[in-house]
Amino acid sequence: MLCTSVKKKGSKEQCTCQALPGYMLCGRHAKCKQITFWVDVFKPQLKSLIRFQAIIRGKLLRKRLALSGPGVLCRKNLANEEDLDTCTEAHREHPDTYFSFEENGKIYWFHFATIWKLCLSKLVPINPYTRTPISSDTLKRLHALWGYRYKHKLELPKESLVFSQRLEGRWNILCQIFNVNGFGIVHLDHCMRYNKRDYVAMLHMMRNDLSLLFCEQDRKFCSKIIQDCIRMRYVSYPTPHFILNCVYGMMIMLLCARDQYALSFNVLSAMYRC
């Protein structure tokens, strides 16, 4: 451990000598009558820094809670008392897995995995309580929450083990993203007919068009995913496995993108050209 004193009187630099065993000072500073500890020099700045960190943490937490929707902290006046799938009571649902939206003045809440499975199963997901299509703003918030959980390595909802159902579910999410970004509903039959050669061509065209994206972070992030998918072509993976990973890669890119509109245009352009 380094000595905790400053180098000399009036200095703001920490002493670089090793402290004596079982002591906080080196041999030279241990003999001094008056000691100026290095940490005391920056105490005023530390208070400001701690306050700044608290403000940033609070802002990030409020931004995260906003993705969960109304009632995430105060579980009152909810339209349903339990989750459809888990049967968990509203007051027992953790804020990290809580998701809700307002419809006709009523707040409907779900476990995150429950409503995500609803979106996987339908091209146009509906509220199971009212049979009304879920709004685009709600879907955007739901997609952003999935992207948040992916980027922070939190548990994600499980998918079906059946190939056709898993592929259809992932394409449902992609088509929902295209729709909420103003490109209209893409027919699922067209997407499900792509073969391995089509996916390879699609990946190469998306990679070539990445330079058109304005967000540099999106370019770097998408480039890595596309390269990983293309590399799988030269490994002895079964075709279904390769197709699932390609669609999952596109889903990750779109759900985690900062400029989702531009990337949606990139992916759709590649789809219709392959």
Q: Tell me the per-residue pLDDT of 93-141, one tens digit each, with 9 for 90 and over.
A: 999 999 999 999 999 999 999 999 999 999 999 999 999 999 999 999 9
Judged against a pLDDT cut of 90, whether residue 222 lies above it is answered with yes
Cα 114 to chain centroid, rounded: 18
Task: Using pLDDT thresholds of 50, 70 and 90, give the confidence band for residue 176.
Answer: very high
Judged against a pLDDT cut of 80, whether residue 10 lies above it is answered with no
In terms of average pLDDT, the best of 87-101, 182-196, 235-249 is 87-101
Q: Tell me the per-residue pLDDT of 32-45, one tens digit each, with 9 for 90 and over.
A: 888 888 777 777 77
Give the range among 115-119, 136-140, 142-146, 183-187 with minimum mean pLDDT: 183-187
Q: What is the CA radius of gyration of the chain?
A: 26
Compute CA distances 222 → 216, 225, 252, 254, 273, whole Å: 10, 5, 9, 9, 19
Q: What are phi and psi of 15, to 5 degrees?
A: -65, 135
In the predicted model, what is the mean pLDDT of residues 173-185? 93
Element (H, E) at 110: strand 106-111
In the predicted model, what is the mean pLDDT of residues 46-53? 84
Q: Tell me the per-residue pLDDT of 58-73, one tens digit each, with 9 for 90 and over.
A: 999 999 999 999 999 9
Task: Using pLDDT thresholds of 50, 70 and 90, give the confidence band for residue 225.
Answer: very high
Residue 249 burial (CB count, 10 A): 23
Please name which of 29, 21, 31, 30 lies closest in space to residue 1, comparing C-alpha atoms.
Answer: 21
Residue 128: what pLDDT? 94
